[in-house]
Each structure stands twice: as structure tokens, then as C-alpha cells.
Structure 1
Amino acid sequence: MFLRTACATLLATTASLSFAQSLAGRNSLIGVVTESSDADKLKTQMTFVDLDKQVVTVVWPSGHQYKMSKTFDSKGIVVLQFVGEMTGSTDTIHLDIANSRFLLVSVVASEVLGTRNPLTVSTSRGALK
């Protein structure tokens, strides 16, 4: 029984390591949202293209494409950021390539748009493939 459990654990660890290694060095990735503060975003996909460049193209679930600045890139972590010129609203995406996951934090400066809530924050996280 111990040997069977040890073998299963070794296989699972090897599979997850080889999957994470297969993401390393790729120029594009797809993120699938598994958790979100906005239920409509669950199971949607985002595409990250040109990861080897300083400006990365992100294709949102709506199909819109935005250029995002790569603000950090080290040891399997890539951070992308977009800042709205008119409002100061931000989208920040943390790609944890080593662990095949991502986090998106969006901050909307609504006061510029005339609403009562000066800042709204939404988060989404999911798996990279």
C-alpha cells in the first residue's frame, strides 16, 4: 500500500512539474477563469500573446485586445499592467507560469465617470494552459 501511494504521489508530482515546465518559454498562454468576484467571468478565457516582449497583447473574453506593459519578469512570474489614460483605472495581471495560474485585479476609478463609488475593485483568478 505504501509503495502504491508513493508511486501515485511521484506520478502526480512529475505530471504537474512537466506541465509547468511545458509552459515555461512559451510565447503565448491561455488563462481560464476559475474564480471571480464577477460570476459572469467564470469559465471565460483570456489569451496572452508576445510574452517574450515588453508589451504583451491580451485578448479579453469580449474579444477586445489591449497592449499591456510588462512591469516584472523573473523566475516564472510575469506582471502585466494597463493604466487608463483618462481615468487612472488599472488592470494588473500576475502570471505565475511556474505554477500554471494567474490573478487579475481590476481597479476602476468610477468617480471620473460621475458615480458615487470612487473606486471599485474586481478580481479573477484561474489556470494557465
Structure 2
Amino acid sequence: MTRLVLLLFLGLSACAAREVKPTEPEMDRIEVQLAQMPCVGRLADWERIYLYHPDYFAEEVDAAIREGRAPRRSGYDRTKIEIHLRQANFEEFGEGRKSYADYPRGLADTDDRAYRIAYGSYDVKSGKLDLAACGAN
């Protein structure tokens, strides 16, 4: 019986820790539309980052602010995919596409360097791509 309880606990823990990231087919659909946008052009010219927007409980956000730490996510909004493009191989930026379960380090940093950016969101249900910005940083 103890072994069964332990296996059940380990199985549930593994499910809870699973990272939720945009899938290859979802990124494929986004990139078909991105490649048709004149301001984006060749996808190989970009570091392309995709992630579902994390959800947070309001109480957790309040506690994180009081404690001076980043909030722990409560889940993901899988109806929208955030899109972040940065000029490929500009200083620390890489190339290709990457799917993340959470914001990668440095993504939200702001700077005044001269490189190209694009960002926006993709509505998974409607298939609509909306770029909020595309051009010089």
C-alpha cells in the first residue's frame, strides 16, 4: 500500500511540474503569417521566442510585491501565445525559434541599443496574429 501511495504521489508531482509551452504546430502557424509581413521578412534574420502568457493569482502577486520577489504562476492562458522577435545574432541574441514555459532571463529588459524588434500575440482559437510593434528598438 505504501508503494502505491508513493507512486501516486510521484505521478501527481510530475504532472504539476510539467512545463506548458507552445507546440511546434502552433509555432508553424504563427511563422507562416510572420513570414508574410514585410517588416519581418526572412525568419532566419530573427531570434523568435514564443510562450503562453502566465496566469497569476492576485494574492500571490500581492505577496510577491510585499516580499520583493517574482510571483509564482498559477497556470497559463493557452488561448494566446506571446511573440517576441529580436534581431538574430545581435550581441547576446541568438537565432532560430524557441518555445518557453516562462519568460526567459533578459526578455523584459529595456535598453537603447540599435537593433530590430517585433512583438505581439497570436490568438490560438481565431488564428489571428497581432503585432504591437515591428521595427527599430
Q: TM-score, normalised by structure 1?
A: 0.29
| Higher normalized contact order (CA 8 Å, seq sep 6+, divided by chain length) | 2
Under a length normalisation based on structure 2, what TM-score does the superposition of the two structures give?
A: 0.28
Q: More helix per residue: 1 or 2?
A: 2
Structure with the higher strand share, 1 or 2: 1
